[in-house]
A and B are shown apart, each in its own frame.
Chain A
């Protein structure tokens, strides 16, 4: 009888404990998942836009770019050559014009849709050949098809989001902007807000876009806040290797692939260290970001340490702009290496660096086979 009572007591305690833990787990689950998701999305964007070797509009193919308003007016013209951007024309729009435009667009859309805000339709344009001068290309599928066909023919079309970045004044007071891009299901990352563009066609806020863009034009600063499109296609590669890249995400600017982001989780000192890696189109690492780790606090965990005034971990910032051949530790033995060893965290440093190097090699090889297969 005594043992029965003991078993029952223990069981009761365990049961109540399990209920309590399940309750807290359920309550915090959405927050944790949201945090993870946001972290990964932010990391994906960030690793492509780290300071050195990162991507910017200067990495665009040399060409003349024009951005066009709904009215058909050229709002901006600029050329990109050898990474230099030269503006020829830039129109800043007044508030009245914006209001009128919004009214016009709302009317066109009809009342049955519950969009509280303006509709932005952005058009591609090349060498003074507009598609449909006085019309908008949102709405009908036919127009979408035409738009897509146009883009296919003219790969150097104006990246649509440039329009938005050029005209934050125009869109600032709006809650949301709807964008349709040639009928393609795409994901847009802008600042901290992630938007899926597809059937739902919603939405993000815009802040400070103009400032960063114009700064870029002056070559004073690179717009850290970005306007990137990630393709929805995930490439799955299965390989029984520790450094398998399962999925990688290609970032496009317009139709031009400008970089790739993928995630690895190599074993380091304590456990797997989940890291997001960005590679630009020149096969140079544009940045890395550690998402999850359980290394020793004060030692291996210093891979996350951020110095005062910096926005990024000092250790992770060493990876900016490195070629695979430079992805070694700068110990005495490896003079070509560029990565510092964290004091007393040699294993974390070495394992993570070598995993990143191997994954980059693997990615480059993979990319070559895919590209080779296509052409």
Chain B
């Protein structure tokens, strides 16, 4: 495969096929975790790790996985990596783990990961699958961070909360932005913006 294919696959996940903003996959963690930038980045990195690893393993074994039981096997592979992430996070990043709570184990059922395993990794070679996983993961992280930063700013009046660099921007924030509606509104605006740009570019 040419270099062009690789770079195209890699950058596809950023905007054009962004799992959250274009494909609208994995909305459960998107809604729940993006209350602050720190949480969003933590979740994004965890999901990226799982995505890359599961894509690699699945594309490696794609020829010996029987078609009929491919979904259970995908789940087993993904669950393994999620458990690894969960355990390592609770050991080495205990505060972030405490903040993310239930949503780390829930990466198992994240549609982005299962979706990429089904749609891409089970049909392509290992290197391009890893690149796809990386691109999708970064796209997922970017989308989460963007939503997180907006919601945190308007909903909590802070930036970078949870880190030592926390800044209080204003004191009476619009609480609704922290709740689920705020996530939908933010996401809706971002998606509309991207769609309008794409239309203009034609």
Contact = CB atoms under 8 A, between A and B. Distances in A.
* Mutual binders A and B: yes
A17 B57 CA distance: 11
A32 B64 contact: no
B36 interface: yes
A17 B103 contact: no
Given A17-B76, A28-B88, A6 B178 contact: no
A31 B72 CA distance: 32
A10 B87 contact: no
B111 interface: no
Nearest to A294: B101
Contacts of B99: 297, 301, 304
A305 to B, nearest CB: 8
Interface string B93-109: 01000111111000000
Given A6-B66, A35-B91, A344 B175 contact: yes
A270 interface: yes
A29 to B, nearest CB: 8
A24 B66 contact: no
Contact of A297 (B77, B92, B101): B101
Given A24-B87, A24-B88, A28-B90, A297 B80 contact: no
Chain A interface residue bracket vs B: 20 to 34
Contacts of A308: 166-168
B72 A28 contact: no
B83 A10 contact: no
Contact of B84 (A6, A20, A294): A20
A13 B166 contact: no
Contacts of B141: none
A13 B76 contact: yes
A192 interface: no
B84 A10 contact: no
B84 A297 contact: no
A94 interface: no
B55 interface: no
A294 to B, nearest CB: 5
Given A20-B84, A299-B178, A9 B76 contact: no
B126 interface: no
Given A21-B83, A21-B84, A24-B84, A298 B36 contact: yes
Contacts, number: 85
B84 A32 contact: no
B39 interface: yes
A210 B77 CA distance: 56
Contacts of A24: 83-84, 87-88
Nearest to B152: A298
Contacts of B18: none
A293 B102 CA distance: 10
Contact of A294 (B66, B102, B161, B179): B102
A296 B90 contact: no
Contact of A10 (B39, B69, B101): B69
A21 B94 contact: no
Given A9-B66, A21-B83, A24-B83, A295 B91 contact: no
Contact of A14 (B76, B83, B87, B91): B76
A343 B101 contact: no
A135 interface: no
Nearest to A298: B35
A296 B101 contact: yes
B32 interface: yes
Contacts of A21: 80, 83-84, 87
B68 A6 contact: yes
A20 B83 CA distance: 10
Contacts of A20: 80, 84
A10 B94 CA distance: 33
B192 interface: no
Interface in A299-325: 299, 301, 304-305, 307-308
Interface in A29-66: 31-32, 35, 39
A23 to B, nearest CB: 9
B47 interface: no
Question: Which 7 residue pairs spanning A and B have beta carbons closest together?
Answer: A298-B35, A28-B91, A17-B80, A31-B91, A308-B166, A294-B101, A28-B87
